Amino acid sequence: MEKSIDKLMEICALIRRQARDWPAQLAMDGVSVYTSDGATPPARHISEPVFALVAQGAKQTILGERSYDYRAGQYLVVSVDLPICGCITEASADTPFLAVGLTLKPAIIASLLLDMPHSAAAPTASMSGIHVSDARPELLDAVLRLLRLLDQPGDIAVLAPMIEREIHWRLLSGEQGVAIRQIGMADSRLSHIGRAIRWIREHYAELLRSEDLAQLAAMSVSSFHRHFRAITAMSPLQYQKQIRLQQARVRLMQEPGDVAAIGYSVGYDSPSQFSREYSRLFGAPPGRDSVQLRTSSTL
């Protein structure tokens, strides 16, 4: 226990120092750190598969009607592209929220699965796309060594891929191994649903047909809907609506102007329906919300 606390303390120190130099993205591809001196309002975004470790403070992530709370010494795994809502729930100027994230790579997981003994095969578990667990000392040690490389830039090219692979292995052989395994298996249910999810993300403004998505996922329509909801906590139509509205919000931030045209560009034929559903998700109609966004740092 003491060793874990010591590792977390050093991780915190490294995050605070590195965040001053790279507020958003570190010198290593796929690695990021985050700090906050206070609690934050809920913010929506689309998360790709990621491992996120909280070193200090606490955070809440919401997927559909599911809520996940995690704090120092715990990590969250997102196993497929998901529209989530997150907020920091515990942070102060004296004790800021500190976290580090790593993008999960299916190719690394697939190669590790080849080296995993068959006897280590995990039983069937929850198909949810989000999981929270306590970080084991071995995982903390790997994260710590990865962050230490930022003080040794000459070693990053050689050692970072090795440590990144180790972190994937620690996750694969840990409590959330089932979820991690699904990411790397081309024939897993998660991978099949992932193909449908990618199609929705790339064609969010188009008409969605359950039969076509089920065929893409190589499932019957009923089985597709059951597994899609288990993973994403929403129906395909609800998922598409989230993607449409979040894309509309980004466009309103970047290209303020004709709200109706932006609504049409993301798939809405009715301006009133677009405004109504946008207000329900973000708490304000699109025109007013875009003004607030441009005068704040919410996005």
Tens of pLDDT, residue by residue over 163-219, are 999 999 999 998 888 889 888 887 788 889 999 999 999 999 999 999 999 999 999
* Domains (range + CATH), the chain: 2-184 (2.60.120), 186-299 (1.10.10.60)
154 compared with 2, residue with greater pLDDT: 154
Instruction: Provide the mean pLDDT of the chain.
Output: 89
Residues 179, 125: contact at Cβ < 8 Å?
yes
- With cut-offs at 50, 70 and 90, classify the pLDDT of residue 27: low
Tens of pLDDT, residue by residue over 230-243, are 999 999 999 999 99
Taking the model in full, what pTM does it have?
0.85
Residues 90, 71: contact at Cβ < 8 Å?
yes
Q: Strands 82-90 and 43-47, how do they pair? A: antiparallel
Residue 62: other Cβ atoms inside 10 A: 17
Distance CA 111, CA 106 (A): 9
